[in-house]
Structure 1
Amino acid sequence: MRHTHSVSLHRAAWPALGAAILFGASTPFAKQLMGEGLAATSPFLLAGLLYLGSGLGLTLLRLLRDRGWKPAGLPPQEWPWLLGAITFGGVLGPLLLMVGLAHTTAATASLFLNLEAVLTAVLAWLVFRESTDRRIVLGMALIVAGGAVLAWPGGDASVSGIGPLALAGACLCWAIDNNLTRKVSASDALFIAGSKGLVAGCVNTALGFALGAAWPTAGLLSSALLVGFLGYGLSLVLFVLALRGLGTARTGAYFSTAPFVGALLSVVVFGEPTNTVFWAAAALMAAGVWLHLSEHHAHDHAHDALLHGHSHRHDAHHQHSHAFAWDGVEPHTHAHQHTTLQHSHAHFPDIHHRHPHF
C-alpha cells in the first residue's frame, strides 16, 4: 500500500513541554522545602518523599481510573526494559545525585545536570539508532547551551573531584532510563511512572531514615508529597507520552528547557532579579524549541507487521477490524495487528516509526 498524508508534528511536542514545565516549576518549591530544613537533615529523605508523592499519587489515579486494581498489561518482553529503567532512573540516578550534591556547589551541580539531555540524545542516536538530522542536533545544542548559560557557576568550584563525577554518573543513569523507558512507552503511562515513583521513593526514604533522619512535620510532609506528585509524577506521565510520540532525543531536548522554567517561576513568584544572562538563555532555548517545532521529516518508509496495544485512533496506521463490540469512541485501547505498509508522510520516530535511515 502506498499513499501520502499529513499529520500534526506539533501535537506530540506539547506533552514534552508540559513535562518540562511541571518539573522545572517544582525546583523553586523544592528549594523552599530545603530552606525549611527538610533536606538539611537528610537530602535522601527529601528525594524519597518527592518520589513517594509521585508514586502514591499516580497509583491512586490509576485505581480511580480503572475503578479498582487491574493488571498492568505490560507484555512479558517489555518487563526487562521497565525494570532496567527503574533501576537506573529510580535507584542509581537519585543516589548518585545525592552524592554529587554533597561534594559540589549548587551552581556547578546545575551546570552538570544539563548533561542528561546530551547523553540521552547520544545514546538514542548511537546505541538505539534513533533517527536525527542537523536541525535537531542544532536545536538541542541551543537548548543545552541556554541551560548552561543559565546555570554558569560564575567562579564557584566543586569541593572535590568526586562531585562532578557522581553528577555525570547520575545524568548517564537518567539517560539510560530515558532510552529504556522509550521501549515501554506504548504501555500505560500511569503504571510506568507510578512504578518508578514507588521504587525510588521507598529506596530513598529508607536510606534517609537509616542515616538518622527525623520524621518531618505534617506541613513539610504534605508539601513534599504534593510537589513530588506534580513535578515528578504528572511530569513523568507526560514525559512517557512524549516518548511515545517524539522519540527519546527530541523529548529529552524539549525537557531540557526545565531549568529555564524554574528560573522564570523564581522570578515571577519569588521575586528573584533577572539579568542579561537570564534573557540570553531564554533566547537560546526559544531558538532551539523553534527548530524542533518547525522540523519536517518526511520520506518513503516501510512498516513491518506488528502486534501491540496502546491508545490510538483509526488513522492511516490503524486500519483494523475489531473482534469485540466497539462503541465507536476514540481514542481507545486494545491489542491490535499492524500489517505491512509502505507510504510517505511527515513523522517523528514514534512507536510506529522506528525504522532505519539509509
Structure 2
Amino acid sequence: MRYTGYPDARRNLYSSCPMNSRSSAIFTALAAAALFGAATPLAKALLGSMSPFLVAGLFYLGSGIGLGIGIIVRRLRTSTTESTRHGISRAELPWLLGAIAAGGVAGPALLMLGLSGTPAATSSLLLNLEGVLTAVIAWVVFRENVDVQVFLGMVAIVAGGVMLSWQPAGAGIPGGALLIVAACLCWAIDNNLTRKVSTNDAMVIACLKGLIAGPVNLAIAFATGASLPAAGMVGAAMTTGLAGYGVSLVLFVIALRHLGTARTGAYFSVAPLFGVALSLVIWPELPHLSFWIAAASMALGIWLHVRERHEHQHTHERLAHTHRHRHDEHHQHEHDFAYAGDEPHTHPHVHLPITHSHAHFPDVHHRHSH
C-alpha cells in the first residue's frame, strides 16, 4: 500500500506520542485512578447496609447499564460511517472473558469482603498493589519494556503506599488486608489480559464487563441470603459503580492502548491517594505527617514517569488490525472504501514493515523486543 493525500501526516504523530498526545494519555490514566480511588471509601460506606457481593454486583450492573445507554446515545448522534465500530474477534474472546472473570467477578468480590473488615483509608492505600502487580506481570510474563526511570518511579509510588498503610509492630496483617491484596492480583491479571483487546472500543469492553460481572455477583449475593435495600441505596451504588468502575475502566483502556500496561498501571497506582483524600472528607480528621510524605513520594514517582523519554531505532513488522486511528506516520495506507477525509475513523488496515527512530511507549504499535 502507498500513502497519499494527507500532507499533515508528519505533524500528526499520534501513535508516536508527541507531547500533547502523551500528556493526554497520562491525564486519562490519572483520571481513571481518581474515579476508581474515590469509589473505595464510598463502597466502604455502602457496606454498612449491603453484603459485599451485592455492592459489587450493583457497582458493575450500574457500570454496564450506564455505559450501554452511553453507547446507544453515541450511535444515535453519529453518522453511519462514524458509528461503525469493529466487533471483538473470536480470537480475542478468551482474553476478554478471562479479564472479566478475574477483574469483574473475583476481584470485586474479594475487595468487598476485605473492605468489610479493614479501615477505609488502609483499604484505599493497599490498592496501590494493583499497579505493582500489573507491572510485574507485564514485565515478567508479557516482556513489556521497562526503563530504570520507570522502575524507580514505580518504587516511589509503592513507597508512598507503604508509608501510609504501615501498621505498628505486633499489629499483624489483618485478614481483610490479605483479601484486598488478592483482589489486586486479580485486577493485575485483568489489566494484562485487557491489553490484548485494548484496540477495541473501550466503552464496549467496559460495558460487557459490567453486564456480565454485575449479574454474576448479584446471583451470588442473592444465593447467600442478601436482599435489595431501599431504592435510594441501590441508585447510589449503581451511580458510584458507573463512575468508579465504568467510566474509570473506559479511561483505563484508552490509556492502556497508548501507554502500555506497566506504565498505565503505575499511574493508576495513585488511585489510593484519591481514596484517602475522599475518606478524610467523609470522615474528617487531620491528616498525619505520613500522608503528606506519602503524597510527595507518589508525586515523585509520577514525575519520574512523565519525564521518561524512550527513543531508539526499531522495526515494525507487518501488522493487520482494526482500531480507531488518524493518518500519522504509522498509518500510511489507502482505503478500499469511499473516504471523505474525516479523522479519526475505524476500519481494517495493514501496517507494512518500517524501520525508524522516535520517542515512543509500548502502545499497540510498539510491542517490539529490546
Q: Same fold (TM over 0.5)?
A: yes
Tell me how far 1:296 sits from its aligned partner.
Answer: 0.3
Given the alignment of the two structures, is residue 167 of structure 1 paired with residue 176 of structure 2, yes or no? Answer: no
Q: What's the counterpart of residue 153 of structure 1?
A: 167
Q: Spell out the pairing of 1:222-241 with structure 2 (5 A cutoff).
A: 222-241=235-254
Given the alignment of the two structures, is residue 94 of structure 1 paired with residue 108 of structure 2, yes or no? Answer: yes
- Aligned to 1:12, which of 25, 35, 48? 25
Tell me how far 1:269 sits from its aligned partner.
Answer: 6.2
CA distance change for structure 1 residues 332 and 347 in 2, over 3 Å: closer, same or farther?
Answer: same
Q: How far apart, CA to CA, are the structure 2 residues paired with 1:112 and 1:286? A: 17
Given the alignment of the two structures, is residue 297 of structure 1 paired with residue 310 of structure 2, yes or no? Answer: yes
Q: CA RMSD for the aligned pairs?
A: 2.5
Q: How far apart, CA to CA, are the structure 2 residues paired with 1:167 and 1:134? A: 29
Q: Does structure 2 conserve the Cα–Cα contact (< 8 Å) formed by 1:179 and 1:248?
A: yes
Q: How far apart, CA to CA, are the structure 2 residues paired with 1:196 and 1:171? A: 17
- Aligned to 1:119, which of 118, 133, 139? 133
Letter in 1 for 2:347: H
Paired residue total: 350
CA distance change for structure 1 residues 120 and 272 in 2, over 3 Å: closer, same or farther?
Answer: same
> Bigger shift: 217-226 or 21-30?
21-30
Structure 2: gaps of 5 or more residues:
3-9, 78-82
Secondary structure at the aligned position of 1:342 is classed as strand
Q: How far apart, CA to CA, are the structure 2 residues paired with 1:72 and 1:263? A: 39
> Bigger shift: 90-99 or 117-126?
90-99
Q: How far apart, CA to CA, are the structure 2 residues paired with 1:96 and 1:266? A: 20
Q: What's the counterpart of residue 278 of structure 1?
A: 291
Deviations along 1:100-143, one digit per CA (max 9) or x if unpaired, are 44666666655543322211111100110100111001101111
Q: How far apart, CA to CA, are the structure 2 residues paired with 1:93 and 1:51? A: 12
Given the alignment of the two structures, is residue 191 of structure 1 paired with residue 204 of structure 2, yes or no? Answer: yes
Structure 1: gaps of 5 or more residues:
none
Q: Does structure 1 conserve the Cα–Cα contact (< 8 Å) formed by 2:125 and 2:273?
A: no
Letter in 2 for 1:312: H
Q: Does structure 2 conserve the Cα–Cα contact (< 8 Å) formed by 1:82 and 1:181?
A: yes
Given the alignment of the two structures, is residue 142 of structure 1 paired with residue 142 of structure 2, yes or no? Answer: no
Q: How far apart, CA to CA, are the structure 2 residues paired with 1:154 and 1:20? A: 28
TM-score by length of 1: 0.90
Q: What's the counterpart of residue 264 of structure 1?
A: 277
> Bigger shift: 315-324 or 72-81?
72-81
Secondary structure at the aligned position of 2:334 is classed as coil
Q: Does structure 2 conserve the Cα–Cα contact (< 8 Å) formed by 1:105 and 1:158?
A: no
Given the alignment of the two structures, is residue 203 of structure 1 paired with residue 212 of structure 2, yes or no? Answer: no
Q: How far apart, CA to CA, are the structure 2 residues paired with 1:138 and 1:196? A: 33
Tell me how far 1:158 sits from its aligned partner.
Answer: 4.3
Given the alignment of the two structures, is residue 47 of structure 1 paired with residue 60 of structure 2, yes or no? Answer: no
